[in-house]
Amino acid sequence: MTQDVYWHDNYITRQHRQERNNHKSFVLWFTGLSGSGKSSLANAVEKHLFESGHNVIVLDGDNVRHGLCSDLHFSAEDRHENMRRVGEVSKLFVEAGTIVLAAFVSPYREDRERVRSRLPHGDFHEVYCKCDLEVCEERDPKDLYARARKGEIENFTGISAPYEEPIKPDIVINTSTLTIEAEVNVIIERLKAKRLIANQ
């Protein structure tokens, strides 16, 4: 950053937007292996929140690589940069009064904690979509595990690249056994318990 770049405060603040929206803004960060159900769960939660009157958006790992992060690959360095960019976009949405549902493998704890550190305290909530590797491989909705096992995909999380499980996630969802409806209910009840959304 150059010395000639300065922060410009806006007249309309996050608090103004939250008051008009009648709800808080925050980030739910869904992390887990490919095939663990992150995107499906994030989209189902989005539908529930949207239908109940919340401003909400899903940021999906594959989708952002079509635009914002189309220049990045899957090396450790590029994964770090991918998470940095998504973290900054998430912060902008939170400032705009929107609930962000970010669904990313995000295999490194350091990256997830860096996103948390860039947001005000209490605005980042880590949701661990816990699913056994064997189950993820059985699902293999994009045929990625099979290709990774054949050596056709390099740096594939869980096979040729590491996944660092959250140590103290805010919410754990066992996506190996629960139905999507049950998973959504767990999320919504936890958000109510944390007073992030109102009881309705």
Answer yes or no: are the C-beta atoms of 53 and 196 closer than 8 Å.
Answer: no
* Nearest CA among 6, 65, 12, 51 for reference residue 197: 51
Euclidean distance between CA atoms 65 and 86, whole angstroms = 10
CA atoms within 13 A on the CB side of 138: 6
Which pLDDT score is estimated for 6? 77
Q: Measured on CA atoms in the order 22, 98, 107, 188, is the torsion positive or negative? A: positive
Query: Annotated catalytic residue: which of 106, 117, 160, 176?
Result: 106
Taking the model in full, what pTM does it have? 0.93
Euclidean distance between CA atoms 41 and 183, whole angstroms = 7
Euclidean distance between CA atoms 79 and 6, whole angstroms = 28
Residue 19: enclosing H or E segment and its boundaries? helix 14-21
Show the DSSP H helices in 65-179 as ranges.
Answer: 76-95, 109-118, 133-139, 144-149
Which pLDDT score is estimated for 1? 55
Which pLDDT score is estimated for 96? 96
Per-residue confidence at 200, pLDDT binned at 50, 70, 90? Answer: low
Q: What are phi and psi of 137, to 5 degrees?
A: -70, -35
Partners of 130 in the beta sheet?
174
pLDDT above 70 (res 2): no
Euclidean distance between CA atoms 84 and 118, whole angstroms = 10
pLDDT digits (tens, 9 = 90+) for 129-179: 999 999 999 998 789 999 999 999 999 999 999 999 999 999 999 999 999
Annotated binding site for ATP: 32-39
Nearest-Å Rg of the Cα atoms of the chain is: 17
The CATH label, of 3.40.190.10, 3.10.20.30, 2.60.120.260, 3.40.50.300, for the domain at 26-193 is 3.40.50.300
Residue 160 tokens read as 């040729």
Annotated binding site: 32-39
Question: Catalytic residue at 106?
Answer: yes
